[in-house]
Amino acid sequence: MHTVRYRSLCLAIIGAAVTVPLGANAADIYRAPAPTTYAPPPPIVQPNTWAGFYVGVNGGYAWGAGDDDTMRGDVSGGFGGGQIGYNFQSGNFVYGLETDLQAGRITGKSDDYASKESTDWFGTLRGRLGYAFGNTLLYGTGGFAYGGVNQKLTYADVLFSNDDTRTGWTAGAGIEYKVSGNWSLKGEYQYVDFGKEDLSSAAGTIEGPETSFHTAKIGLNYRLGSSSSYEPLK
């Protein structure tokens, strides 16, 4: 009888000794995991694009050499106006259309031939094709030109004249640089050629001198609806 009780007591002690370490190990094994933290995704960067509409203002200077054969004197003068355009972009290549309108006073005369010329306004409609790297765009441009030209020429004591809207062509090149946000500065050269037109008088008509001149201008553009800097999208 005592032997049976002794064995039962020993088994109870051994069971208790085994259960306590197992319980402690189980608590270590099933410890609650630490809360998981997630890093925010990297910001989406908006591309530095030249694409989209833009408007701007400009001002410059025009000059042209006289021609003794056509009895034309040197011309020169200042002008100012505005431009509007639209660019497309594919990789580094930028292409689009631009139109501008200028008011000014580009005048000249030849005392030897009693001739006078004045261009009081002119405009262009041109294509543009360029290559962009970073904030800089190099481009060529060319297309249609028009303007108001007044010419007078005295020949054989007869005054011949023409005051009309002339048409012709233009070609040039430029550089544009983004200064901040949607703003950019540009410098541009254009050659404008209106060709020749007859001058008339009561005695008849004669062929007038060719009207052409060089232009150099600086401009400021603002891009509508397109960011020109590297900023995260909201």
110-151 pLDDT, tens digit each: 877 788 999 999 999 999 999 999 899 999 999 999 999 999
Angle (nearest 5°) at CA 24 between 18 and 29: 120
Confidence tier at 155 by pLDDT (50, 70, 90): confident
67-113 pLDDT, tens digit each: 777 778 899 999 999 999 999 999 999 999 999 999 999 999 887 77
**Cα 185 from Cα 56, distance rounded (Å):** 9
Mean pLDDT of the chain: 84
**pLDDT score of 231:** 38
> pTM here?
0.76
Residue 17: is its pLDDT beyond 70?
no
Q: Which residue has the higher pLDDT, 69 or 36?
A: 69
Q: What is the DSSP string of 103-168?
A: EEEEEEEETTTTEEEEEEEEEEEEEEEEEEETTEEEEEEEEEEEEEEEEEEEETTEEEEEEEEEEE
Confidence tier at 157 by pLDDT (50, 70, 90): confident
Q: How far is CA 127 from CA 123, 148, 172, 176, 225, in A?
A: 14, 22, 11, 15, 21
Q: Which two tokens stand for residue 34?
A: 């630490």
CB contact set of 92 (below 8 Å; sequence gap of 6+):
131, 132, 133
CA torsion angle 180 181 185 190 (round to 10): 150
The answer to whether the beta carbons of residues 117 and 148 sit under 8 Å apart is no
Counting residues of the chain whose pLDDT is more than 90, the rounded percentage is 61
**Cα 175 from Cα 155, distance rounded (Å):** 44
Q: How far is CA 59 from CA 63, 101, 146, 215, 220, in A?
A: 14, 11, 18, 10, 9
Span 2-16, average pLDDT = 51
Q: What are phi and psi of 42, to 5 degrees?
A: -65, 145
177-204 pLDDT, tens digit each: 999 889 999 999 999 999 999 999 988 8
